Amino acid sequence: MNLPRREFLRASALAAASAVVAQRTGAADATTSPAPSPADGIAWDKAPCRFCGTGCHVRVGVKDGKVVAIQGDQLAEVNKGLLCVKGYHVGLALYGKDRLTTPLLRKNGKLEPISWDEALDTIAKRVMAAPDKFAIYGSGQWTIPEGYAANKLMKGGLSNNHIDPNARLCMASAVTGYLSTYGVDEPAGCYDDLDACDVLILWGNNMAEMHPVLFSRVIDRRTRGQKVTLIDIGTRRTRTTEFSDHYLEFKPQSDLAILNGIAHLLLKNGTYDAKFVERFCNFRQDTAAASLLGDAMTFDAYKAALEPYTPEYVEKISGVPAEKIRLLGELFGRKDIRITSVWCMGFNQHSRGTNANRLCHGIHLLSGHFGKHGDAPTSLTGQPSACGTAREVGTMCHFLPGGRLIANAEHRAETERIWNVPPGRINPKMGHHTVLLWEKFCTPTAQGGDISTVWVQVTNPGQSLPNLHKLFKAKRGLPDKFLIVSEVYPTATTELADLVLPSAMWVEKNGMFGNSERRTQQWFKMVNPPGEARDDCWQTIAVARKLFELGHPGLKDKEDKFLFTFKNAAGTEVPAWDWKHYYDVNVDRALFEEYRAFSRYKHKDLAPYDEYVKARGLRWPVVQQASGAWRETKFRFAEFDDSYVKRGAGIQFYHSVTKDDKALIWFAPYEKAAEEPDADFPFWLCTGRVLEHWHTGTMTMRIPQLSGAMPHAYVEMHSADATERSIANGETILVRTRRGQLRLPVWTNGRGHVPRGSLFVPFFDQRLLVNDLTLGEPDPISKEPDYKKCAATVVKLGAGRLNSV
Amino acid sequence: MPTSGLIITLQPGSATQADAVGRLRARPELTLGEVSDRWLPVALETRDDAESREVYDWLMALPGVAFVDVVSVNFEPTLSLQLHPSP
Ligand code: SF4
């Protein structure tokens, strides 16, 4: 590189950093981006980061048709110009050397290149042959229009509800927690609570590594001299622990007891918020068979149920000292502080995940720590559009768009009206949820395996499903099962695919995401995808068109028109199913505007597409003001901010399950995990993520800077457990569960520290699939599997033989 | 040669700050901007990623440095090594 260019890049980097500093100190206007330099040669545009659910905005620099630079977007409220290590390398996710660039069909055991036309024909014929045995498996990485199109194809076109996203594996219990507490999904508060709370409680949430930009936002408050008390409640020490004022280490599964212990103290000490509870809450408990809405219970019965959860009893179950339980009880009992709780997979990937979520909402409601900035229980998501697509668009097997339910006849009728399809088109029977869908796909047809073709988009179930031998790898010996995978890179899933479709990713296509705080975000395509890779949304529409041409009646609306008909500004129909014409019209805008019509029912109002073009995201409900302007909502159900709350109500849970504007405080007992350590398998095994890699690592492992920093998976083990078994740090051992075994290097002094009797293995490494080992016991209500708890043993690899230790 | 824009949050106390800034100035990979409040904008230019990591770790361990945030990365110079084959 020549010298002036180097100097220029150095000056640009310094200018970007200086601009963020100027914004922090108030010396610069936070509403303008640094002006692009004409000498730069780089065109800049905005996009949300491709990776986690934090939803940071990046400025994407494009030169000569390639993404060449990334900056944190100063205009974005989420990240205020900052990014984490993954985010500032996000552009390189596009440029791994092994991008998939052509459709591939398995012939004689080998994936061979074929044309797009042959690929589309192949899919359409499989679907036509058995439309009810076809399933789509997507994710919270689907853009909103992509998920909407897939949902409409399945439910509105094929009358088939076998569509579910991988979000079932990560936030389904958060959904059931919100629904059973407030009658409507997603958090009341938002990230602004992190700026206003006095106490931040991280429930099994390693925010420093998993949502680093949000964590940085909290730490920044401390460097400004503000006092914010951090309480890390977890099963292993992490980077988050290093910054915390209190660390409460609990035995796996016993978070349920801790939550009950807090409620017990609030009642016993009389420090619960009696007025708040009386005005805004009712009480519930589970029925004998777990259910979403349970049975009503009285306040007295609730109190009696909590009676046993004394600090000493909770200590016995959880291992957390009684005085620490009292500390939590006292904090929640104080009216002079604001408390924000956050959680992610710790609560959700839990065999009693719905209950963990319910109980956390419950202690906030019982104590009145709700309804003010900084006083809120808020779940965080792992994927960029788990909220925006999986939850809001309703790509789950029991949902319709906008919070509607398959099981509700009125909801089906309304959806049919918006889709302009004949009454009765939507099948009233719920489809298979993720685990069942894959179980059915991996079961021989003659033995009840009623799913024969699965189309996977934007996810990697061959690595992320639990108990992979049963739920994924068993497909191998079933010749009549057909796996279609739309992907960007070869993955553990494409290894078993019969047909692979090369996909465009991130800024190679238009898109919209919805992050953890109800913020809907938009971006435009900036560069072309490589080779013949094409948008997932186009793939869905093109298959729909093939089905239409083959005469499938479901692909016609009431006027016999194709279900995905688009018109340009002049009103002329554009054949968007033909790739040559896909970008002749903004398909994202058209699909989003259609989808918007669904958003009002649950007060998740979305603004017109063009409002999102101008903004760095808007948090729903986005309500139009008398002036015509669109106003986002930071805190739902609270009169100070939510325009749907009646004047004078203060708080109004307007989707209340009990139809009286009240939320539900649940009682749920502590229950043991489905599989606990025993003599044969004496360790707890927990799985999770690391800072450098995003989920299954298919993108981040192809970024040299990230794979270099964290090149392979490992097993975290306590040094005393290792010493006791003559295992050295770095030594490769065998980790074994009842489902499988895996060779892994031991890390006893890494950045995470497990207690004695526990192991932790990250799941990002395709070569070391920890999900061969996991149990995946599902929550009975949400059907979300538990990835955090199963029993394991370790085996030292001796000279020539395996020694169980 | 990766080039990054960083913000270094300095610990309060003018002597500690001045000492930290002095040490930062001595590193040739770093170009320092103006300290504003307790934040120092910096450009970091390194030979490769290994060196970037090494400098980052050094920064995090430096007395007087409370936190390091990255705000921009230009990978244009290294991109030619990583690009997938052109269509
Ligand atoms: S915190 Fe998440 S959204 Fe933000 S830059 Fe990092 S990976 Fe991207």
Beta-ladder partners of A503: A534
Give the CATH number, domain containing residue A732: 2.40.40.20
Determine, yes or no, domain membership for A707. Answer: yes
Sign of CA dihedral A433, A439, A441, A445: negative
> Could you tell me if residue A715 is inside a domain?
yes
Give per-residue burial for A67-79: e unless 16+ CB within 10 Å, then b: bbbbbbbbbbbbb
pLDDT exceeds 50 at position A804: no
Q: What is the pLDDT of residue B81?
A: 38
Most B CBs within 10 Å, among A2, A6, A7, A14, to test the B interface: A14
Nearest to A20 among B3, B44, B71 (CB): B71
Residue at A105 is within a domain: no
The model's pTM is 0.91
Domain boundary among A336, A358, A384: A384
Contact A61, A71 (CB under 8 A): yes
Query: A–B: how many Cβ contacts below 8 A?
Result: 148
A454 touches A135 (CB < 8 A): yes
Same domain, A237 and A370: yes
Asked whether residue A6 carries a pLDDT value surpassing 80, the answer given is no
Angle at A490 between CA A484 and CA A492, to 5 degrees: 75
d(CA A202, CA A370): 16
SS3 A19: helix
A206 and A338 fall within a common domain: yes
Residues A67 and A190 in one domain: no
A54 CB less than 6 Å from ligand 1?
Answer: yes
Counted domains in chain A: 3
Strands A482-487 and A453-457: parallel
Asked if the structure places residue A247 within a domain, the reply is yes
**Residue-level pLDDT at B83:** 38
Query: Is A625 among the domain residues?
Result: no
CA within 13 Å, CB half, A587? 31
pLDDT at B48: 77
Last residue of a domain, one of A65, A95, A125: A95
In the predicted structure, residue A39 carries a pLDDT above the cut 60: no
The three-state DSSP-derived secondary structure of A651-681 is: ECCCCCCCCCCCEEEEECCCCCCCCCCCCCC
Q: How far is A394 from chain B (nearest CA, A)?
A: 35
Strand partners, A747: A716
- Quote the pLDDT of residue B9: 86
Give a yes or no: residue A741 inside a domain: yes
Q: What values do phi and psi take at A719, rounded to 5?
A: -60, -35
CB A442 within 8 A of CB A449: yes
The answer, yes or no, to whether residue A746 has pLDDT greater than 60, is yes
DSSP class of A555: G
pLDDT score at A800: 39
Q: Which of A64, A95, A126 is the last residue of a domain?
A: A95
- Whether ligand 1 lies within 6 angstroms of the CB of A754 is answered as no
For B70, the token pair is 């990255």
CA distance A12 to chain B (A): 8
- Looking at this predicted complex, what is its ipTM? 0.90
> Quick check: B21 contacting A, CB < 8 Å?
no
CA atoms within 13 A of residue A728's CA, in its CB half-sphere = 3
Partner residues linked to A249 by β-bridges: A234
- Range of lowest pLDDT (A171-185, A394-408, A739-753, B9-23): B9-23
pLDDT grade, residue A34 (50/70/90)? low
With CA atoms as reference, report the closest residue to B35 among B45, B26, B25, B27.
B25
A170 is a catalytic site residue: yes
pLDDT-derived band at A9, boundaries 50, 70, 90: confident
For testing contact with chain A, the best of B46, B51, B72 (most A CBs within 10 A):
B72
Query: Are the C-beta atoms of residues A376 and A387 closer than 8 Å to each other?
Result: no
**The predicted structure's pLDDT at residue A1:** 47
> In whole angstroms, what is the distance from residue A639 CA to residue A634 CA?
11
- pLDDT-derived band at A640 (thresholds 50, 70, 90) equals very high
Q: Is B15 helix (H, G, I), strand (E, B) or coil?
A: helix
Active site residue A383: yes
Please state, rounded to an integer, the average pLDDT across all residues of chain A: 94
Angle A739-A383-A389 from CA coordinates, rounded to 5°: 115
Return d(Cα A594, Cα A599) in angstroms, integer: 10
| Residues A65-79, mean pLDDT to the nearest whole number | 92
With b for 16 or more beta-carbon neighbours within 10 A and e for fewer, the B49-62 pattern comes to beebeebbeebeeb
Q: How far is CA A623 from CA A188, A373, A611, A627, in A?
A: 16, 20, 12, 11
Cβ distance B70 to A88 less than 8 Å, yes or no, reads yes
Per-residue pLDDT, averaged over A727-754, amounts to 94
* Sequence-distant (≥ 6) Cβ neighbours of residue A69 within 8 angstroms: A42, A60, A61, A63, A91, B72, B73, B74, B75, B76
Structural domain for A204, as ranges? 182-384
Residue whose token pair is 């936070």? A30
CATH number of domain containing A60: 3.30.200.210
Which residue carries 């949300």 as its tokens? A48
Decide: A506 in ligand 1 pocket, CB within 6 A: no
Res A11: pLDDT: 85
Active site residue A382: yes
Distance separating alpha carbons of residues A320 and A725, to the nearest angstrom: 27
Closest by CA to A613, choosing from A508, A505, A529, A510, is A510
Q: Is A110 inside a domain boundary?
A: no
Look at residue B86 in the predicted model and tell me its pLDDT: 30
What is the rounded average pLDDT of the residues A684-696? 93
Structural domain includes residue A287: yes
Same-domain status, A207 and A317: yes
Judgement on whether residues A68 and A190 belong to the same structural domain of the protein: no
Residue B72 CA to ligand 1 centre (angstroms): 13
What integer is the mean pLDDT of A737-756? 93
pLDDT in tens, A498-548: 999 999 999 999 999 999 999 999 999 999 999 999 999 999 999 999 999
Same domain, A70 and A217: no
Which of the four pLDDT bands, split at 50, 70 and 90, describes residue A803?
very low
- Displacement of CA A395 from its chain's centroid (Å): 13
Please answer whether residues A258 and A314 qualify as being in contact, where contact means their C-beta atoms are separated by less than 8 angstroms. Answer: yes
- Tens-place pLDDT, residues A311-361: 999 999 999 999 999 999 999 999 999 999 999 999 999 999 999 999 999
pLDDT of the residue at A41? 83
